Amino acid sequence: MPLFTDQMNRTVDIPEKPQRIISLVPSQTELLVDLDLEDRLVGLTKFCVHHKGLKKQKTIIGGTKNFHFDKIAALQPDLIIGNKEENYQEGIELLADKYPVWMSDIYTLEDALEMMKGVGAITGTAAQAKRLIHEIKQDMASLTQGARGTTVYLIWKDPLMAVGPQTFIHDMLGRAGFTNLVQESRYPELSMEDLKNLSPDFLLLSSEPFPFKQKHIDEFAAQLPKTHIQLVDGELFSWYGSRLRYFREYVEGLIS
């Protein structure tokens, strides 16, 4: 079998044009479908909500951090695609002992495009991946430039958790023209006092993983009267697959 190197620098033996693929990450599941691989996709997670109706047609193998190994075994996969951050190390190691497991590791847009190229190579869809990458690059190049202001991007409520450097969302915030005020890397906890001291121009409340709603805008507005507080589509900032095609249009209509 051909040898491939994934984004964690692991060498993986993968059959040429694998026919029974399991995806452990929602954004990569959507990518596989957009690379015309729906017929070869046999398993996915309960969080793989795109494309619509896909979960009814495929086997649900659990969540991103709790796999049902019996269901995976029954599917007899010849390729499993995961992600370092979204999946859990113990589960991935157990799967890698039995199946070809290709892992992505993504912090920037460039990493995401490299992932798409890699997925195209291992699945025999390099031409489709190349077209998709070109489309996203062209779209990003036409993104309206200019500083929007400072921001804090929250992903969780109790406790408050924000996005910091060394994350894909941080990179995309910068491309959208925001200056992220959070300096601690990854996903630090903040207090309301921290938010007041940071005093961002914009407080962005993500739709996922915590489902912020209008009532939360009202709560924060009472504490941060000078900050523009807005709900944002978490998928458009955190999904690093083919959904990136919609990022420019979404961002340019985000702040009126």
In this model, does residue 24 exceed pLDDT 70?
yes
Q: What is the rounded average pLDDT of the residues 36-40? A: 97
DSSP secondary structure of the chain: --EEE-TTS-EEE--SS-SSEEE-SHHHHHHHHHTT-GGGEEEE-TT---STTHHHHSEE-B-SSSB-HHHHHHH--SEEEEETTTS-HHHHHHHHTTS-EEEE--SSHHHHHHHHHHHHHHHT-HHHHHHHHHHHHHHHHTSPPS--EEEEEEEETTTEEE--SSSHHHHHHHHTTEEE---SSSS-EE-HHHHHHH--SEEEEESSSS---HHHHHHHHHH-TTSEEEEE-HHHHH--SGGGGGHHHHHHTT--
- Predicted pLDDT at 146: 77
At which of 73, 104, 139 does a domain end? 139
143 vs 126 pLDDT, higher one: 126
Cis bond before residue 51 (omega within 30° of 0)? yes
Q: What is the rounded average pLDDT of the residues 15-32? A: 97
- Predicted pLDDT at 12: 97
For residues 12 and 113, state if they share a domain.
yes
What does the pLDDT look like over 2-19, one tens digit per residue?
999 999 999 999 999 999
Q: Report which of 160, 164, 161, 151 is spatially closest to residue 200, judged by C-alpha positions.
A: 151
In this model, does residue 42 exceed pLDDT 60?
yes
Domain of residue 116, CATH code: 3.40.50.1980
Domain-embedded: residue 225: yes
> In terms of residue numbers, what domain contains 195?
149-252
In this model, does residue 143 exceed pLDDT 90?
no
In this model, does residue 256 exceed pLDDT 70?
no
Counting residues of the chain whose pLDDT is more than 70, the rounded percentage is 99
For residues 112 and 25, state if they share a domain.
yes
Domain-embedded: residue 126: yes
Q: Rounded mean pLDDT of the chain?
A: 96
| Structural domain total, the chain | 2
For residues 183 and 233, state if they share a domain.
yes
In this model, does residue 159 exceed pLDDT 70?
yes
For residues 204 and 239, state if they share a domain.
yes
Residues 81, 85, 91, 93, CA torsion sign: positive
Domain-embedded: residue 144: no
Only one residue has tokens 């409340």, namely 205
